Structure 1
């Protein structure tokens, strides 16, 4: 089968680019002829305030990539669609509603000559604007089928458009690295330091974690990742809570090569999300030997066995989170949970995912 994936790949960074790249490799390994139609300029900078690209690849780059798409060039969108008429399947990777206008241009160039799947990382954003739902509805009404990463996201898609929707859990696409030897063996010792990792956005609940941390004496926190809206509000909250000596801020994108050392310096990864769809971060923590403390939202709870390789807590509650952090640091508990951590096996997840993606519309109706 000839498959064209429209989405970000290296030099773009982050989970979306890693997923697109790994998906292309996996489909190629199954014997399909795959090309990635990627971006020369994906978003205007005012819509994505962080750094969009990286200088070194995270994993093996995919060899068959065309980087012609540009958010400023609608003529290029239509040309891309014309090129895709030769494919058996076109996959439109939806990470943000701002991608919809280019995708509509691609569909105009296709003229329904190729089966089209909308692969939705998020059907709608966590923090929504008035134009998000109309844009996504316009896209989903024009594709042949939809692939969503959870039943909750599938329900959102079905509420927007009549296209058949299939569900497949987001499979692991973790950067190379792995757990340090002492983490794997459970001999790293208790550091009384926690880790918050990844893009900092309001729905991820860093403010809740800081307020909970203020109630748990003697425990420190490292916050590593890009801050979507700037640092001022977070710094002000840290000062207000008297946490200046206990919170280390490491703003900016964390290269894959720095991730193992960062995780080795913590006792647990904390994911205090207010909401979530699918996330790699719980698996990332386990891959590096860390138990994970997370809220029961989205697919996070599916990746953690409460009391075995991490702890689960109800979302949105500072009291509940502070109580869980205190429980985590009971005598012997960090070591016991660390011993329960096992690295994820990606193979069954990817087998199910590629099967769902390649299945025809009737299978997902």
Structure 2
């Protein structure tokens, strides 16, 4: 089949770009003719406070990548859609409602003769290219008033929706009657080239890694650290989407300045192994979550994970075997988990239980769920 994926790719960074690229590689390896329609200018700067692009690729770029889309050129959105009419499947990688206007423009170019004609029995009309919205998040963790109307408009205009958890599927079904399918998101972030061999030393240091936003609960972790073992340090590495000064003030008020290292800014893939090797565990104190790669990234680097029971964390972590699970947005619960983790012999025991995941079967199931939207799956409706 000829398949087009519309989404970010190198030089854009982050999980969305990595996922788009890995998905293209996997589909091409399965024998499909694949193209990525990416961006030369994805967002105006004020809508994305972090670093948007990088100079060196992280992982292997997909050779069939076109960078024609530009947020400043709506006419280009329509032309891209028109150029994709010959495809057997178009996948829109949806990371944020900010993308919706451009995706509606692409749909306008794809659809003949109207933008959103109805199908029969849940299937696209004969001769019409099926379009799937692949939603990393159906709605953002921190929502704006326009998010739900935009996503409702998009999800009612596509032929199917693919999400990464049952909770996200339930949310999608409140916005559209189109078929919604669930597939667990396989690994796609940069990992160590070879398994990391940790020595037996306990470093008394934890790691918080990735973009810092309120829903990720760094403030909860800092308060728990102040109540937990008083000789344990923390490294915070990642871009701050606001709140850096507030974080520094909180660290000072909790008397943690000597124990917390802040490394604000994007972390290149080359620096990731060293960060993970210097820590005893990765901590994910999220208030809410959908799907995250960070548990698998930690396990690839040989680290146990301490996480809250949100999103898919509890399914990825074997509580008491390769990590610990605690209550979200609960300082006392997280502090207790930190104390438990650092009880004598526990860091070594949990580290010994860590096993990298074989993502081949997960990717096979993921591709199957996506490709079912081109035929028989739509006859049966949503899973």
**1:130-178 superposed Cα distances (whole Å, 9 cap, x missing partner):** 1000000000000000001100000111000110000001111131425
Give the aligned partner of residue 282 of structure 2. 269
Q: Aligned in 2, Cα 1:180/1:28: closer, same or farther, shift over 3 Å?
A: closer
Residue 70 to residue 181, structure 1, CA distance change in 2 (3 Å): closer
Structure 1 position 340, deviation (Å): 0.1
**Among residues 338, 351, 355, which one is paired with 1:325 in the alignment?**
338
Query: Aligned pair 1:301/2:314, yes or no?
Result: yes
Question: Which residue of structure 1 aligns with residue 117 of structure 2?
Answer: none
- Counterpart for residue 278 of structure 1: 291
Deviations 1:36-94 (A, max 9, x none): 00011111111101000111111100000110111111001000000110100000000
Matching of residue 362 in structure 1 with residue 374 in structure 2: no
Q: 1:177 aligns with which of 192, 203, 209?
A: 192
Give 5+ residue unaligned stretches, structure 1: none
Q: Using the alignment, how far apart are the partners of 1:130 and 1:197 within structure 2?
A: 29
Cα 1:254–1:29 change in 2 (3 A) is same
Asked if 2 retains the 8 angstrom alpha-carbon contact of 1:212 and 1:321, the reply is yes
Q: Distance in 2 between matches of 1:8 and 1:273?
A: 25
Please give the alpha-carbon distance, in whole angstroms, between the structure 1 residues aligned to 2:180 and 2:159: 9
- Do 2:191 and 2:300's aligned partners in 1 also have CA atoms closer than 8 Å? no
Which residue of structure 1 aligns with residue 77 of structure 2? 77
Q: Please report how far the alpha carbon of residue 362 of structure 1 lies from its aligned counterpart in structure 2 after TM superposition.
A: 2.6
Q: Which residue of 1 aligns with 2:67?
A: 67
| Cα deviation, residue 230, structure 1 | 4.3
Say yes or no: does 1:140 pair with 2:164: no
Name the counterpart of 1:102.
102
Partner Cα distance (1:287, 1:224) in 2: 18
2:154 aligned with 1:154, yes or no? no
Mapped to 2, the partners of 1:158 and 1:188 lie a distance apart of 48
CA distance in 2, matches of 1:122, 1:363: 24
SS at 1:124 equivalent: coil
Distance 1:111 1:195 in 2: 48
Q: Equivalents in 1 of 2:90, 2:295: separation in Å?
A: 30
Three-state SS of the structure 2 residue aligned to 1:274 is: coil
Q: Using the alignment, how far apart are the partners of 1:300 and 1:8 within structure 2?
A: 25
Q: Quick check: 2:196–2:300 contact (8 Å CA) kept in 1?
A: no
Deviation at 1:261, TM superposition (A): 0.6
> Which residue of the other structure, out of 169, 194, 197, is the alignment partner of 2:209?
197
Q: Deviations over 1:231-259 (max 9, x none)?
A: 10100100010000000001111111110
Question: Are residues 1:255 and 2:268 paired?
Answer: yes
Query: SS of the residue aligned with 2:84?
Result: helix
- Are 1:10 and 2:14 an aligned pair? no
Q: Secondary structure at the match of 2:107?
A: helix
The yes-or-no answer on 1:342 pairing with 2:340 is no
Structure 2: unaligned runs, 5 residues or longer = 113-127
Q: Which residue of the partner structure matches residue 212 of structure 1? A: 224
Q: Once the two structures are superposed, what CA deviation does each residue of 1:293-323 show, in whole Å capped at 9, x if it has no partner? A: 0000001111100000000001010000001
Counterpart secondary structure, 1:147: strand
The structural deviation recorded for 1:179 is 6.2
Q: How does 1:35-54 map to 2 (within 5 A)?
A: 35-54=35-54
In the alignment, the residues of structure 1 paired with residue 2 and residue 87 of structure 2 have an alpha-carbon distance, to the nearest angstrom, of 5
CA pair 188-346 structure 1, distance change in 2 beyond 3 A: same
Task: Supply the distance in 2 between the matched residues of 1:250 and 1:279 (Cα, whole angstroms).
Answer: 21
Describe the shift of the 1:363–1:309 C-alpha distance in structure 2 as closer, same or farther (beyond 3 A). farther
SS in 1 for 2:46: coil
Q: CA RMSD, aligned part only? A: 1.0
Counterpart in the other structure of 2:131: 116
Distance, in Å, in 2 between the alignment partners of 1:4 and 1:230 is 38
**TM-score normalised according to structure 2 size:** 0.93
The structure-2 alpha-carbon separation of the partners of 1:179 and 1:323, relative to structure 1 and needing over 3 Å to count, comes to: farther
